[in-house]
Chain A
């Protein structure tokens, strides 16, 4: 099993970054960092567009981030209808790394706002599927 396990519906079966899913199983969210020039990428990439290297290491998205923006979706695209409402957001982490994803649905509406301190965590979706989300730090 590989990358098709990522997310509620995966549209990508094969990628050189499929180890991402193995890290999620260990409750770790990881991006890649170029061994040649040090450029950091999230979401992870297997090729460095800064120096053209294909030599990448993994690094953890750890610590606190800051929520930049979010939305609560009341409608969903095909295949996600039973999930609504759900929140999507984007947050700033160290070194200019940004993370986009779902926001913890157990958080009350009045808590989720831009500026909120957040952390990432892996989510077991069941049926051998995994994802990650942003939750309150």
Chain B
């Protein structure tokens, strides 16, 4: 019996440069989630605010957000695990509700990345790895994931074109997602243009920075039934960590934190990978989605390439993955990403995903990674 359910979801459009301040950006997601749930602000017992702080000029954003969203005097605090911050926020909210401390908790994720240049942004992301021992070499996220791509190619014979097929799938759905930053249709030729960022990863293997916000409202399963017609149950939560520096890693063809988090989430939910009807995985780079297929057990290690070659992760396939365009098309506003993934899965399980709808989806999974596999969050949702 699940203890906690999602009763409202919202997301701002993800855009290159949001024409407003962080509080206004956050309000867009909040307004949508509140309208979705039908709740009034005085029904929110506490809030968890999630972002990656190095982008925020505002010190201690939680206080600002609680005030602007109209949630004073209820408790609020900040949760951070870089790119998986709002999934960690979900985990914190689950604890607050499951423990009986609160009945209704709101998780708000946001990031306004456009306030700094792309190079500065890369520098900050590089500092999301070990600053004492690795950042002095000039590290950045694409270079780290590129080493995993090379490791995967070497071990399993995966190719650059296999990764290109993942981007091609992403663009198929990005085109129909009106909240995505990248909505252009792509061809494999265009994707395979040799514009290397960090070999073997090319321009189109990388997601774009974006500004965005997401909001998820959770309630105890008991209370949820009284508040909304169609609560979506949180049935499994798994989180795991791995060494922040590359020298401490024991594999370069998969993310250990995702493998362990997935196992924990499946155990809690009492399901197998084959029970999942629709999944959102953290495709900050194409290789990240390839590894997710294997780390989550949708394919055996090394067989992820067969899934994408056979289009099994398209909407019509065996296990639809990122049929909202994923991070590659939606964009990746760090703190907002997990909540956006959760929103997609909740809409899918309610049958409200429109053109992206996977027929009869009952169990959905969110895989949200922080840093290059420092934090792995896997969350599983279900409806009757």
Contact = CB atoms under 8 A, between A and B. Distances in A.
Contacts of A75: 122, 140, 142, 197-198
Interface string A109-122: 00000110000000
A78 B137 contact: no
Interface in B131-162: 131-140, 142-143, 146-151, 154
B254 to A, nearest CB: 12
Interface string B166-199: 0000000000000000000000000000001111
B354 interface: no
A8 B137 contact: yes
A11 B135 contact: yes
Contacts of B143: 71, 73, 88
A73 B140 contact: yes
Contacts of B197: 73-75
Contacts of A59: none
B199 A71 contact: yes
A102 interface: yes
Given A11-B135, A77-B139, A88-B139, A68 B252 contact: yes
A81 B138 CA distance: 9
B282 to A, nearest CB: 19
B120 interface: yes
B245 interface: yes
A12 B131 CA distance: 7
B123 interface: yes
Interface in A68-93: 68-81, 83, 86, 88-90
Contacts of A71: 143, 146-147, 149-150, 198-201
A32 B197 CA distance: 35
B138 A83 contact: yes
A69 B147 contact: yes
Contact of A78 (B122, B196, B201, B248): B122
A78 B123 contact: yes
B246 interface: yes
Interface residues of B, number: 40
A114 B137 contact: no
Contacts of B201: 71
A69 B138 contact: no
Contacts of A70: 147, 150
B126 interface: yes
A120 to B, nearest CB: 12
B147 A89 contact: yes
A69 B154 contact: yes
B1 interface: no
B330 interface: no
Contact size class for A? 35 or more
B119 interface: yes
B305 interface: no
A114 B131 contact: no
B249 interface: yes
B151 A69 contact: yes
B159 to A, nearest CB: 15
Interface in B228-262: 245-249, 252
B360 to A, nearest CB: 41
Contacts of B150: 69-71, 114
B127 interface: yes
A71 B252 CA distance: 12
Given A77-B126, A79-B138, 17 more contacts: A11-B131, A43-B245, A68-B252, A69-B252, A70-B147, A71-B149, A71-B150, A71-B200, A72-B196, A74-B198, A75-B142, A75-B198, A76-B138, A77-B119, A77-B139, A78-B122, A100-B134
A131 B139 CA distance: 14
A42 to B, nearest CB: 6
Contacts of B131: 11-12
Nearest to A42: B247
Contacts of B136: 6-11, 131
Given A68-B252, A78-B119, A98-B246, A73 B147 contact: no
Nearest to A99: B247
Nearest to B136: A7
A15 interface: yes
Given A69-B150, A71-B198, A90-B252, A98 B138 contact: no
B207 to A, nearest CB: 15
B132 A11 contact: yes
